[in-house]
Amino acid sequence: MLGAFRSSQVALGGLLWKRSWRMSTTQKQGQRDRLRRVDNVIACVAESNVKFRALDKALALPTEHEMLPKDKYTTFSHKGRKFRKGQHHVPKWTRLTMRTNPKGF
């Protein structure tokens, strides 16, 4: 059909983009690998005896093996149920450092 009543993916089946509410095992493995790579970069820069404020902040962050699984795979959301949401629901979640969350959440 043409015009205003033509069929579309949204009209035929509901949501066009379906995203799982939990991360897949490959997404979790990729997240752990990214965290470890960032830890390695921070460690290499710290060994070079360079001093700057961003390095001090980075050294204060927990490393991948110190983080709880809850903090590795979810992040704070004031809209989310129980104030948490999966990191794969955050835009550009592979590029952001979300290692710290508000206390108690």
With 0.85 as the threshold, say if the pTM is over it: no
Average the pLDDT over 1-25 and give the result.
71
Residue ranges covered by each domain of the chain: 21-89
Helix %, strand %, coil % of the chain (to 5):
50, 5, 45
User: Residue 95's pLDDT is what?
Assistant: 86
In the chain, the largest separation of any two C-alpha atoms, in whole Å, equals: 68
